[in-house]
């Protein structure tokens, strides 16, 4: 069940579609693939194979990067922990739940400049 609001602020309950076993297996495989790609991305940032500025700059085109939370990406940067990441996000005016594709140009530039 899923609850949504109509134009008069009333709650409408909708039934979620039931998936066939094949559709469910396909969705699970797709989710596992996305997790693996995200894990590889974070490992590449952590190891220094990819720079955070290059990753952030391709967030709009790359689905894996775009759907990853900015805090996850920043925590993968060597030397950045929770406290520094939180301070950077506040300084740049970015919500902690923001995903990379949702960053504006100014926010992305503010992060990149703060990391130099």
Give 21-46 pLDDT, tens digit per residue: 999 999 999 999 999 999 999 999 99
Give dist(CA 43, CA 34) in Å, integer: 14
Residue 64 near residue 42, CB atoms below 8 Å: no
User: Nearest CA to 115 among 78, 72, 83?
Assistant: 78
CATH number for the region 27-113 comes to 1.10.8.50
Q: Length of the chain in residues, anyone? A: 116
- Cβ-contact 111, 92 below 8 angstroms: yes
Pair 100, 58: CB distance under 8 Å: no
**The pLDDT value given to residue 1:** 56
CA–CA distance, 13 with 56 (Å, rounded to integer): 38
pTM of the model as a whole: 0.78
- Report whether pLDDT(8) > 80: no
The two three-digit tokens of residue 65, written as one number: 């990067």
> Which residues have C-beta within 8 Å of that of residue 38, sequence separation ≥ 6?
64, 67, 68, 72
Q: How confident is the model at residue 98 (pLDDT cuts 50, 70, 90)?
A: very high
Residue spans per domain, the chain: 27-113
Residues forming a β-bridge with 13:
3
Q: What share of the chain is helix, strand, coil (3-state, %, to 5)?
A: 60, 10, 35
* pLDDT of 82 over the 60 cut: yes
**pLDDT above 70 covers what percent of the chain?**
91
């Amino acid at each position: 069940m899923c609850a949504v609001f109509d134009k008069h602020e009333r709650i409408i309950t909708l039934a979620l579609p039931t998936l066939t076993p094949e559709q469910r297996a396909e969705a699970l495989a797709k989710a596992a693939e996305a997790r693996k790609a995200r894990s590889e991305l974070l490992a590449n940032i952590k190891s220094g194979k990819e720079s955070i500025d290059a990753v952030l700059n391709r967030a709009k085109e790359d689905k894996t990067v775009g759907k990853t939370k900015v805090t996850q990406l920043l925590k993968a940067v060597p030397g950045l922990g929770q406290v520094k990441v939180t301070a950077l996000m506040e300084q740049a005016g970015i919500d902690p739940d923001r995903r990379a594709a949702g960053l504006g140009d100014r926010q992305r530039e503010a992060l990149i400049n703060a990391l130099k």
